[in-house]
Amino acid sequence: MEILVCVKRVPDTSENEIEINKDGSDIERDDLVYSVNEWDNYAIEEAIQIRDNVGGAVTVVTVGDEESEEVLRREMAMGADNGLHLLDSAFDGSDGRGIATILKAAVEKGNYDLILTGALADDGAGQMGGMLAAMLDYPYASLVNKIEVIDDKKIKAGREIEGGNQEMSEMDLPCVLSIQTGINEPRYVGIRGIRKVASVEIPTLTAGDLGIAPESVGDAGAKVKRMDYFMPEMGEGAEMLEGSTDEIIEKLIEMLKAKGGIK
């Protein structure tokens, strides 16, 4: 099975103090530590496990600047067979539709049976998988937490439904799935794995290579305009109860009674 996994390089929120930039249009991106979007690691792990069970190859693709190559290399160190870097200054400032347009062109250059995205990335739109599937006219399932390969024409995709119920659907290939965290346990990437792929050539494709009109993507093609980016004002602070444990319990009961929480 030929599997394409879409990955995004995102600021590592555990390593960074996130601040809004001066003109309030984005976060301050200088000096941030970046890593692979968490959801994409689960998608890669799932793709590797499927390949190891049924054969085929895993290709990992990103739309991003020069530095984004590091996430391709990391996922190749994890076990992906190939990397593909979609790199062109015309892609800068793409909205979600722009990113999906670029990824669609890359999908059409290959011969993929299964396309995996993360369910969500740092911008939190959760839109890429659905948009990509619609553009390709492929079937799509979101928030997938289980995949079973039936044969080279069909898979079963599982989703957790409200209330903890599980749904299983049979889907025709090729299809697009957005992967939920927890579907597996992503493997550890060791130094040996990173060294092994350090000098592997990763092909890049530009707008021209992909047959994309530059003005249809990037800033020029964006149909969504971000108007503001800010941290919401803090609400009223928490009230710290002082005193002995018994006094605190008494005060807490009074407060809950006053607010109608208990009678």
Ligand X SMILES: Cc1cc2nc3c(=O)[nH]c(=O)nc-3n(C[C@H](O)[C@H](O)[C@H](O)COP(=O)(O)OP(=O)(O)OC[C@H]3O[C@@H](n4cnc5c(N)ncnc54)[C@H](O)[C@@H]3O)c2cc1C
CA distances from 119 to 111, 128, 157, 204, 245 (A): 23, 8, 14, 25, 44
DSSP 191: H
Structure tokens at 192: 């040996």
Of all residues in the shown chain, the one whose CB is closest to ligand X is: 118
CA 160 – CA 166 distance, rounded (Å): 5
Per DSSP, the three-state class of 45 is helix
Task: Report in angstroms how near the CB of residue 255 gets to ligand X at its nearest.
Answer: 40
Alpha-carbon torsion (149, 111, 141, 81), positive or negative: positive
CB of 223 or CB of 259, closer to ligand X? 223
Structure tokens, 29? 């991106």
Between 37 and 184, name the residue whose CB sits nearer to ligand X.
37
CB closer to ligand X out of 29 and 257: 29
Of 11 and 193, nearer to ligand X (C-beta) is 11
What minimum distance in Å lies between the beta carbon of 129 and ligand X?
Answer: 6
| Shortest spacing between CB 22 and ligand X, in angstroms | 17
Beta bridge partners of 172: 154
Q: Please state the closest distance from residue 237 (CB atom) to ligand X, in A.
A: 31
Which chain residues interact with ligand X by CB under 6 A? 6-8, 37, 39-40, 62-64, 92-96, 99, 117-118, 120-128, 222, 224-226
For the CB of residue 64, give the shortest distance to ligand X in the complex, in Å: 5
**Which C-beta is closer to ligand X: that of 214 or that of 251?**
214
SS3 (DSSP) at 71: helix
Calpha distance 26→193 (Å, rounded)? 34
